[in-house]
């Protein structure tokens, strides 16, 4: 929409012609001003060139393009909510059926597709469908755009055939996994979150799997928005699950009970795990709830919201167990579970740390190594930063 809005328009005009539609809507968030202004320019140019409007190319096909700016709700990407929003109603999904193709926008049959899908139409037609379909795998033909980000050397939008493996994407295109400080030391790959905030995660065992629809479905993930967030070994998977859950619970439209209440309660349970309050029942309840939200929600947002939890539970169960039963975070990312300890052999009794501690948790005296009272410690980490002799470890 920003770089080549013409391709989207062209795809939509072709689609309009194919199904006999006379009006097309592009629904785009107001928060993407560049996309909005470039789309408007492109529509104007297309109208002037006679690609849009009445009697296109002298045929009796009329097609009008309208741009609707949405007010920034994730759920308005869901088809029925999107149409409600265009109609001026609250962006809330409706039960399907009726499907948009039967009764859609303003009650009329409606074809609704992703921008990428439309932009691909002219390319595929130009290449010849057979040539286009020869790319990718048998069932997932063609190419797919991914937004590659996270702990990789090169981030950005990439377009690859569906047959490409995860390893090719991370190593060959992304330039390998990097450490938290941005340097590529050949760090170990831990996982990748695929498909946006409600996608699932893939791990080492999937590195040589090609990213097509069927394969992803098999391992409980999805292509979704095409987001690929690469994570290195220092990433805490529970925190990752919590991060995405925070997003979906904020973005739930609030219509159906399981999604509205369930995402919030999953967040509470993840907090319990991260902050050391969890018991065996917490994980059990989390798992049960995740299942209920998945099967019980009305729209795609709720149905997929538990995916990050379910897939981390599936592939990183031992990390959950460590948080819950040993009260430790294997990657040391969860502050509430980390312990700051002074290594007596390294401590020079300089008292710098004790003076820096905001809650006076550190005591000691000259000649004797200092100690941290774990009951008082609030795990702010100031002591570790102040120690000149690296005597404090986490």
Partner 1 sequence: MKKAYITVDGIHVPIEGEKNLLEVIRKANIELPTFCYHSEISVYGACRMCMVDIEGRGLQPSCSTSAADGMVVKTNTKEIRNLRKMIVELMLAHHDQNCTTCPKSGECRLQEIAQQLGVSKVRFKQIHDFAPLDDSSDAIVRDPSKCVLCGDCVRVCNEIQSVGVLDFAQRGFSSTVVASFDKPFGTVECVNCGQCIKVCPVGALSPKSQIDGVWEAIHDPKKKVVVQIAPAVRVSLGEYFGYKPGAATSGQIITALRMLGFDQIYDTAFAADLTVLQEGDEFLERYLKGQNLPQFTSCCPAWVKFAEQYYPDMLPNLSTCKSPQQMFGSLCKDQLTKILDIEREDLVVVSIMPCTAKKYEAKRPEFFEGDNPDVDFVLTTKELSLMIKEQGIEFEKLEPGSYDMPFGFKTGAGVIFGNSGGVSEAVLRYAAAKLNHGKMLDVRELRGPESTRVAEISIGDVSLRLGIVSGLANARRLIDKVRSGEENFDLIEVMACCGGCINGGGQPTSSDQEHLSKRAKGLQDQDKMLQFHSSQENPYLQELMREDLTEEKAHELLHTFYQNRKRITLDDIMIRRPEQEAELSIKICLGTSCFLRGAQTLYSQLTDYITQNGLDEVTEISASFCNELCQKGPVVTINGKILEHCTFERAVQELKKVKSFAH
**What's the angle, vertex CA 39, arms to CA 107 and CA 77, rounded to 5?**
45
Q: Name every residue whose Cβ is closer than 8 Å to that of residue 7 and which is 6 or more positions away in sequence.
A: 118, 119, 122, 123
* Residue 257 touching partner 1 (CB under 8 A): yes
Contact criterion met (CB below 8 Å) for 89 and 75? no
Rounded-to-integer distance, Cα 272 and Cα 95, Å: 34
From partner 1, ligand FMN, ligand SF4, none, interface partner of 114 (C-beta below 5 to 8 A by class): ligand FMN
Q: How far is the CB of 113 from ligand SF4 (least distance, A)?
A: 20
Between 267 and 306, how does the x/- string for binding to partner 1 read (CB under 8 A)? -x------------x---x--xx--x--xxxx--------
Site membership for ligand SF4, residue 306 (CB under 6 A): no
User: Which two tokens mark 98?
Assistant: 């009726």
Torsion of CA 189, 194, 200, 203, to 10 degrees: -20
- Long-range contact set of residues 369-374: C-beta below 8 Å, sequence gap at least 24: 369/342, 369/344, 369/345, 370/342, 371/342, 372/340, 372/341, 372/342, 374/339
Closest C-alpha to 165, from 216, 228, 210: 210
Q: Which is nearer to ligand FMN, 253 or 387 (CB)?
A: 253
SS3 at position 330: coil
CB 387 within 8 A of CB 353: yes
Pick the closer one to ligand FMN by CB: 301 or 383: 301
Segment near partner 1 (CB under 8 A); pick from 23-31, 220-228, 243-251, 364-372: 243-251
Could you give the dihedral angle defined by the CA atoms of residues 90, 92, 95 and 96, in that order, rounded to the nearest 10 degrees? 90
Question: Per CB under 6 A, does 82 bind ligand SF4?
Answer: no
271: left (phi over 0), alpha (psi -120 to 50) or beta: alpha
How far from chain centre, in Å, is Cα 99?
A: 26
Instruction: List interacting residues with ligand FMN (CB under 6 A).
Output: 74-75, 77-79, 112-115, 117, 299-301
**Contacting residue, 143, 215, 297, 312, with ligand SF4 by CB under 6 A:** 297
Question: In the bound complex, what is the minimum distance in angstroms from residue 268's beta carbon to partner 1?
Answer: 5
Binding of partner 1 at residue 102 (CB under 8 A)?
A: no
The residue assigned the tokens 């990312």 is: 333
- When CB distances are held under 5 to 8 angstroms depending on the partner's kind, the choice from ligand SF4, partner 1, ligand FMN, none that residue 10 binds is none
> What tokens does 344 get?
């007596």
Taking alpha carbons only, the member of 304, 155, 313, 315 closest to residue 230 is 155
> Does residue 258 belong to the site contacting partner 1 (CB under 8 A)?
yes
Residue 113's binding partner, choosing from ligand FMN, ligand SF4, partner 1, none, with beta-carbon cut-off 5 to 8 A by kind?
ligand FMN
Picking from 81, 98, 99, 100, the residue whose alpha carbon sits closest to that of residue 90 is 81
Using CB under 8 A, pick the residue from 75, 191, 221, 354 that binds partner 1: 75
If binding is defined by CB under 6 A, does position 91 make contact with ligand SF4? no
Shortest gap between Cβ of 289 and partner 1 (angstroms)? 7
By CB under 8 A, the count of residues binding partner 1 is 34
- Does 301 participate in binding ligand SF4 (rule CB under 6 A)? yes
Residues found near ligand SF4 in the complex (CB under 6 A): 75, 93, 252-256, 259-260, 297-299, 301-302
Residues found near partner 1 in the complex (CB under 8 A): 73, 75, 90, 92, 94-97, 249-258, 260-265, 268, 281, 285, 288-289, 292, 295-298
């Amino acid at each position: 929409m920003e770089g080549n809005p013409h391709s989207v328009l062209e795809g939509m005009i072709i689609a309009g012609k194919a199904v006999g539609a006379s009006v097309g809507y592009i629904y785009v968030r107001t928060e993407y001003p560049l996309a909005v202004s470039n789309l408007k320019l492109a529509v104007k140019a297309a109208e002037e060139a006679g690609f849009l409007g009445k009697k296109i190319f002298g045929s009796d096909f009329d097609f009008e393009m309208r741009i609707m700016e949405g007010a920034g709700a994730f759920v308005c990407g869901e088809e029925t909510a999107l149409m409600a929003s265009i109609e001026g109603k609250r962006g809330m999904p409706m039960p399907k059926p009726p499907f948009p193709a039967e009764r859609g926008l303003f009650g009329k049959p409606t074809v609704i597709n992703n921008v990428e899908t439309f932009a691909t139409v002219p390319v595929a037609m130009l290449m010849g469908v057979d040539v286009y379909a020869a790319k990718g795998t048998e069932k997932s033909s063609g190419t797919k755009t991914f937004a590659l980000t996270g702990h990789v050397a090169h981030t950005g939008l990439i377009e690859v055939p569906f047959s490409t493996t995860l390893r090719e994407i991370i190593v060959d295109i992304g330039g390998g996994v990097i450490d938290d400080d941005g340097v590529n030391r050949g760090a170990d790959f831990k996982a990748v979150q695929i498909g946006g905030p409600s996608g699932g995660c893939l791990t080492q065992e999937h590195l040589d799997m090609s990213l097509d629809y069927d394969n992803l479905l098999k391992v409980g993930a999805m292509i979704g928005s095409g987001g690929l967030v690469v994570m290195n070994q220092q990433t805490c998977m529970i925190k990752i699950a919590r991060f995405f859950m925070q997003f979906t619970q904020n973005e739930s439209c609030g219509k159906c009970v399981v999604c509205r209440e369930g995402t919030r309660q999953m967040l509470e349970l993840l907090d319990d795990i991260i902050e050391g309050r969890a018991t065996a029942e917490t994980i059990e309840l989390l798992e049960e709830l995740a299942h209920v939200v998945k099967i019980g929600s009305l729209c795609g947002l709720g149905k997929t919201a538990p995916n990050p939890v379910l897939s981390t539970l599936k592939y990183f169960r031992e990390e959950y167990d460590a948080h819950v039963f040993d009260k430790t975070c294997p990657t040391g990312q969860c502050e509430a579970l980390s312990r700051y300890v002074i290594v007596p052999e390294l401590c020079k009794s300089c008292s710098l740390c004790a003076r820096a501690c905001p809650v006076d948790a550190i005591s000691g005296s000259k000649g004797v190594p200092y100690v941290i009272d774990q009951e008082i410690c609030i795990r702010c980490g100031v002591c570790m930063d102040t120690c000149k002799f690296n005597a404090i470890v986490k």
